[in-house]
Amino acid sequence: MKLGGLNDQEINESYKSIMDQLVRLDPKVILNIANSIWYKLNFPVQNEFINLNSQYYYAEVNELDFSLPEAKDIINGWVDEKNRRIDT
C-alpha cells in the first residue's frame, strides 16, 4: 500500500498519532477505539506482527479456533467488553 510516498514506519506512526489526537481532541467527548485481530488456531503469526499492531494500532491479536460453536460469542464478548455504555 502506497500512501503519498510514506514507508511502512511512517504510515504506522501517522496512524498512531491520529488515534492519539482523536481520543484527546475534546475533553467533553469520550472516544474509545478498540481494535483486534483474530487468527486461526495454530496459524503461525510472527511476533513482529503482534508487536506492531499492539504498539501502533492498539490492537489485541488473539488466536481462536473458529470451528468452535462459541467462537462468535468469544469475539462478540470481546466487542461488548470494549464498548463503553453510557446511560443518558
Q: What single-letter amino acid sits at 74?
A: I
**What would the mean pLDDT of 65-77 be, rounded to a whole number?**
97
Strand partners, 36: 60
| Distance separating alpha carbons of residues 24 and 48, to the nearest angstrom | 28
Residue 14 makes CB contacts below 8 A (sequence gap 6+) with: 6
| Distance separating alpha carbons of residues 4 and 48, to the nearest angstrom | 24
The verdict on residue 13 lying in a domain is yes
Length reported for the chain: 88
The verdict on residue 1 lying in a domain is no
What CATH number does the domain containing 28 carry? 3.30.497.10
pLDDT tens digits along 14-61 = 999 999 999 889 989 888 889 999 999 999 999 999 999 999 999 999
Domain containing residue 42: 8-82
For the chain, how many structural domains are there in total? 1
The verdict on residue 87 lying in a domain is no
